[in-house]
Amino acid sequence: MKHLTMAITLAMLVTGCVHKQTQSVQQHEPGDIKVGKSATWNEPYYPAKAYAAGIEGVVRASYTVNSNGCAENIKIVSAQPADVFERETIRAMNKSCGMEPTSLSKIITITFRLNGGASMEEVPLIVDK
């Protein structure tokens, strides 16, 4: 049994991933910059080392959307803890498309939870009228 547990843990570390989901995002309030169609977020994998160590965290990233509807100019705004989830956040964001193009920066919060994998929430931008 001990060898089986060790083999499974090693397999998780080698693959570098534990959990992945995709979701459609359509959450907007009046006054928000609206997305014209459903965006497909490539949710991050839960890094195997963080999962094995029992580490949870939150990353906030800013980005713009290019003329193809894909995220670009991705920058990490904050990460707790630091140097754990940032690389996977950027990898997933680089594959996120289907959004309305805009040069205005957007913010997304990605929460990594051991019992729920990674979840993404776009922070709505309010446009002054």
Could you read off the pLDDT of 72-123 as tens digits, one per residue? 999 999 999 999 999 999 999 999 999 999 889 999 999 999 998 888 888 7
pLDDT for 122 equals: 84
Kindly report the number of other CB atoms within 10 A of residue 43's CB atom: 21
The pair of structure tokens assigned to 11 is 């397999």
Tokens of 44: 């991050």
Beta 71-80 vs 57-65: how paired, if at all? antiparallel
What is the per-residue pLDDT for 90?
95
Task: Please give the average per-residue pLDDT across 53-68, as a whole number.
Answer: 96
Are 12 and 75 within 8 A, CB to CB? no
Judge contact between 21 and 43, C-beta under 8 A: yes
- Considering only CA atoms, which of 88, 104, 85 is closest in space to residue 35? 104
Which pLDDT does position 114 carry in this prediction?
Answer: 94
Q: What is the pLDDT of residue 8?
A: 53
The 10s digit of each residue's pLDDT in 9-45 is 444 444 444 444 434 333 433 333 334 445 677 878 9
The model's pTM = 0.66
Give me the pLDDT at residue 42, please: 80
pLDDT at 81: 97
